[in-house]
Amino acid sequence: MKSEKQLVYEQKKMRSKYPQTKDSWRTLPILETRLAKVPSEQLVVMKLKSLNAKVYRGGWPDFLTIKEGKPTLIEVKSGSSKLSPSQVKMHKALRVLGLTVTVLNTDEKDWQTQLDAALGA
């Protein structure tokens, strides 16, 4: 099976031969033959990207907590473990949306105090 990038490349290549409509991403012959084989999530990602939407898949924090109606996202690390590039990107996007994202290192002595502060305890 071809990758999403390959399918998108082939779609762009074929655009000049076919009229563009709102759902042309789904109706181009090059994709029609493969739609049954493409996983549902990949189809949704392709559609979202065709609408120029940013799509974040990886890097979600470990926990979503809700205390007194306030959501807080918590990422847990230990030792010298650091955030991956996808986690940095996701956490930034979540903060832009106004959500609180806290990264705790359980090897630090004050991690429980940090958690209490994040939850407003």
pLDDT of residue 62: 95
Instruction: Give the C-alpha distances (Å, rounded to integers) separating 27 from 32, 44, 46, 95, 104.
Output: 6, 14, 13, 37, 47
Going residue by residue through the chain, which has 121 residues, state the pLDDT in tens, using 9 for 90 and above.
667 777 777 766 666 555 555 555 555 555 555 555 667 888 888 889 899 998 888 899 999 999 999 999 999 999 889 999 999 999 999 999 999 999 999 888 889 999 999 888 7
32, 13 Cβ separation under 8 angstroms: no
pTM (two decimals): 0.62
pLDDT of residue 13: 66
Q: Quick check: helix, strand or coil at residue 82?
A: coil
Q: Where are the domains of the chain?
A: 4-50, 63-118
